[in-house]
């Protein structure tokens, strides 16, 4: 599966897709990028005079790149994988927020697989800003359900 095909398998669309590019995908982790456009609606009300990206959206970006992309990649390694009817549920997250992400800032998310068994994936994730500074880090877990493992 190519990186573009993997992104196309994500169950998200605009305006809730937080993956622009995947730089690296392996059985052990993923590295990808996203640009938080200044035109996004959430900036209009999240601190009117000095907007910043909400932490819940930073977590979502980390989950989409670091957990969901990796989960789809790992599942695609099975012979009977089909993305049709796939369901994904985040089961836990613990994030530490260290720096704000400004409008029009490009971030890079890196994940490291902790474990993947019984279609439950747990990853350590880190997000860096365009200056290479650590923005947030944590652990995210999720469950994957496909038609083959219903």
Report the CATH number at residue 45: 3.10.129.10
State the pTM of this model. 0.91
What would the mean pLDDT of 65-76 be, rounded to a whole number?
A: 93
Contact 1, 22 (CB under 8 A): no
Cα distances (Å, whole numbers) of residue 19 to 31, 58, 80: 10, 12, 26
Give the pLDDT score at 45: 81
Mean pLDDT, range 42-59, rounded to an integer: 89
pLDDT at residue 149 tops 60: no
Q: Which residues contact 21 (CB under 8 A, 6 or more apart)?
A: 3, 32, 33
Q: What is the pLDDT of residue 88?
A: 78
Q: What is the pLDDT of residues 78-130, one digit of tens each?
A: 766 666 666 777 788 899 999 999 999 999 999 999 999 988 999 999 999 99
pLDDT at 62 > cutoff 90 = yes
The pLDDT of residue 17 is: 95
Mean pLDDT of 134-150: 83
Looking at the 3D structure of the chain, how many domains does it have? 1
CA 69/CA 30 separation, integer angstroms: 7
More confident residue, 132 or 12: 132
Q: What is the mean pLDDT of the chain?
A: 90
Token code pair at residue 4: 């573009």
C-alpha–C-alpha distance, residues 25 and 12, integer Å: 19
Tell me the three state secondary structure of residue 141.
strand
Q: Which domain holds residue 67?
A: 3-149
DSSP 83-125: -TT-EEEEEEEEEEE-S---TTEEEEEEEEEEEEETTEEEEEE
Which pLDDT value is given to residue 76? 85
pLDDT at 16 over 80: yes
């Amino acid at each position: 599966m190519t990186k573009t095909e993997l992104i196309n398998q994500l169950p998200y669309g605009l305006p809730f897709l937080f993956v622009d590019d995947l730089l690296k995908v392996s059985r052990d982790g993923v590295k990808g990028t996203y640009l938080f456009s200044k035109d996004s609606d959430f900036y209009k009300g999240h601190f009117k005079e000095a907007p910043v990206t909400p932490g819940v959206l930073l977590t979502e970006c980390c989950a989409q790149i670091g957990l969901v992309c990796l989960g789809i990649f790992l599942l695609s390694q099975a012979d009977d994988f089909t993305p049709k009817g796939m369901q994904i549920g985040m089961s836990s997250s613990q994030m530490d927020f260290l720096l704000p992400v400004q409008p029009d800032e490009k971030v890079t998310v890196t994940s490291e697989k902790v474990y993947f068994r019984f279609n439950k994936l747990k990853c350590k994730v880190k997000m860096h800003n365009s200056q290479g500074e650590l923005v947030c880090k944590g652990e995210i877990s999720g469950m994957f359900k496909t038609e083959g493992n219903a």
